[in-house]
Structure formats: structure tokens, C-alpha cells
Amino acid sequence: MTEFVNKQSATGDRSVAQGRSRRRIGAQLAVGLVAGSLVVGAAPQAGQAAPATVTAAAPAASAARQVQAAEAAALRVRTLEVAYSAAAKAKRKTVALTFDDGPSKYTPQVLDILKRNNVKATFCMLGNNVGPYQKTAKRIVREGHRLCNHSRNHPDFTDLSTSSARSQVVWTQKKIKSVTGRSPQVFRFPYGASNSRTRKVVRDQGLRILGWTVDTRDWSRPGTSVIVSRAVGNTRPGGVILMHDGGGNRSQTVAALDKTIKKLKAKGYTFVLA
Ligand SMILES: [Zn+2]
């Protein structure tokens, strides 16, 4: 289990995954905020006003002016939405915590710390670890965290045949569903290593591919304070932090987690699901 983590950052595909991840997060944020401005902004008024002004049996010239006015109002609303979206996207400091390679005996400690801090995270599980840690897998769901499929036993997917890749994904989906009652909606490639063929395999199962933007390299056990400073120092708004709750001795990860959360909160970050 420890040998695979040493390849974690050795993949040339990682930056691709990161770039995609960043763009995706940006896009999600933009959609969310546009929707938000529709609720609180001027859109509902314009939506109501436009049909009302043109249904009256008014003279033709007057009706035309009203149509023009309604169109102008709609344009102003659209312009406002874009402005709100851009401003909020720039200001909103969100970050997502993700834990890979579990569940393991360290996972309950991670869950305790998340609970104390009222933070939800995403757990990228290995199918083979779910059977031995069923209680923990169920607890992850019960406490509101997000499930992520991380393959059955952590192969490099660029070495796999299409059918082997598919069975890694499908077996793990079934295992997680049978134990937790829930199917993951996201998948993270081991080592972040993928190619267009294996990405298609994953997407064909209806799964979204999850990357990361901050690699703490916690698996190399660099010391608790180094893990904290990497996580906090490298996070930007919309960031996705990669940590590990399985795959080896994760006591440093556990020890770093509380301080990482508190420092990010102090910097104004709110935690979201990846
Ligand atoms: Zn992994």
C-alpha cells in the first residue's frame, strides 16, 4: 500500500487534471452565483414586468416602446448578473478538503476532527478498503461527507486495458453502494494518471473526474508543520486540497488537520465539497 503513494506526484498528467479541476470549479461557482443573483437580484422583477407591459391593449406605437423598454431592462439584468458573478467569484474564498486511499484505521480520527470543526470533506475510497472498514464507510455518509471512487486497488490507469479500467471503476461503485447504500458521483484517478481512453471509461459510468490544486504530499510524512504550511500556503480561492487518510501511516495527516482547518478559516475560507 505504501509503494503506490511514492508515485503520487510523478505523473505528467497531474497538471492537466489540476487545470481541468480549476476550470470546472470556476464554472460551477459562476453558475451558482448567477443562480444566486437571479434569486436576490433584479431578475424576478424584470421577468414579471416584461409580459405585463405588453399584454395591455395599448396603441401599437406605445406597445413597441414597451417592448423596447422590456428588452432594455432584460439586457440590464443580464449585465448585472455577469457583474455579480465575476465580483463574487473573485471574492468568495472556498476550499475543498479531499482524503484519498481510505478508509483505514486513521479515518475515524479524521472524521472526529472534521466534526469538531463542522467541516464536510470528500473521501476518495479504494474499493478493497471498503469491506474491512464498513462501519467507517457508513459513518462517512452519515456525517454528510461526499463519496468518491478511487478505483479498487490503486493501479495506474494508463497501464490498464479498457476492460480492466472499467472493472476497477464498476467493482468499486458496486462495493461502495452495497456497503453505504450510496453511489459515488465522482472519481479520482490514482496518481492523477489518466488518458482520454480511461477518462471516457469513467465518464461513461456517469462519474465526474476530480483533480486537485494543492498537493500536501502528506504521504511522504514531511512533518506535521510542513503539511499545515503547504495546505494553507498554497491554497487559493476555489482550491482542492489533497490529503490521505489511508495507504500507510497517516498520523501526521491526522495531527496536521485541525490546525490546517483553523488557519484556513482564519484566512476567511469556507469549506465546500469537491
Ligand atoms: Zn490514491
Mean pLDDT of 13-24: 39
C-alpha grid cell, residue 142: 452519515
**Residues that place a CB less than 5 A from ion ligand 1:** 100-101, 190
Cα 154 to middle of ligand 1, angstroms: 6
Cα 225 to middle of ligand 1, angstroms: 22
List the single range of 17-31, 90-104, 204-218 with lowest mean pLDDT.
Answer: 17-31
Per-residue pLDDT band for 92 (boundaries 50, 70, 90) equals: confident
List the single range of 27-31, 163-167, 232-236, 270-274 with lowest mean pLDDT.
Answer: 27-31
Q: What confidence score (pLDDT) does residue 71 get?
A: 59
Q: Are the beta carbons of 157 and 202 closer than 8 angstroms?
A: no
Coil, strand, or helix at residue 46? helix
Mean pLDDT of 173-183: 98
Closest CA to 80 of 139, 40, 115, 52: 40
Q: Are the beta carbons of 159 and 122 closer than 8 angstroms?
A: no
**Vertex 216 angle, CA 214 and 182, to 5°:** 75
Q: Please identify, in words, the CATH class of the domain defined by 2-31+93-271.
A: alpha beta
13, 100, 156, 245: which is the annotated catalytic residue?
A: 100
In the beta sheet, which residues pair with residue 122? 98, 146
Residue 100 a catalytic site member = yes
Dist. CA 211–CA 193, nearest whole Å: 10
pLDDT higher than 80, residue 16: no
Note the pLDDT tens digit of each residue in 215-241. Answer: 999 999 999 999 999 999 999 999 999
Cα 101 to middle of ligand 1, angstroms: 5
Cα 5 to middle of ligand 1, angstroms: 7
CB neighbour class for 139 (10 Å; exposed up to 12, middle 13-18, buried from 19): middle
> Could you give the angle at which helices 60-91 and 43-55 cross, rounded to 10 degrees?
170
pLDDT higher than 50, residue 33: no
C-alpha grid cell, residue 237: 480561492
List the single range of 8-12, 165-169, 185-189 with lowest mean pLDDT.
Answer: 8-12
C-alpha grid cell, residue 10: 510523478
145, 150, 154, 244: which is the annotated catalytic residue?
A: 244
Q: What confidence score (pLDDT) does residue 266 get?
A: 98
Cα 150 to middle of ligand 1, angstroms: 7
Cα 245 to middle of ligand 1, angstroms: 10
Question: What rounded mean pLDDT belongs to the chain?
Answer: 80
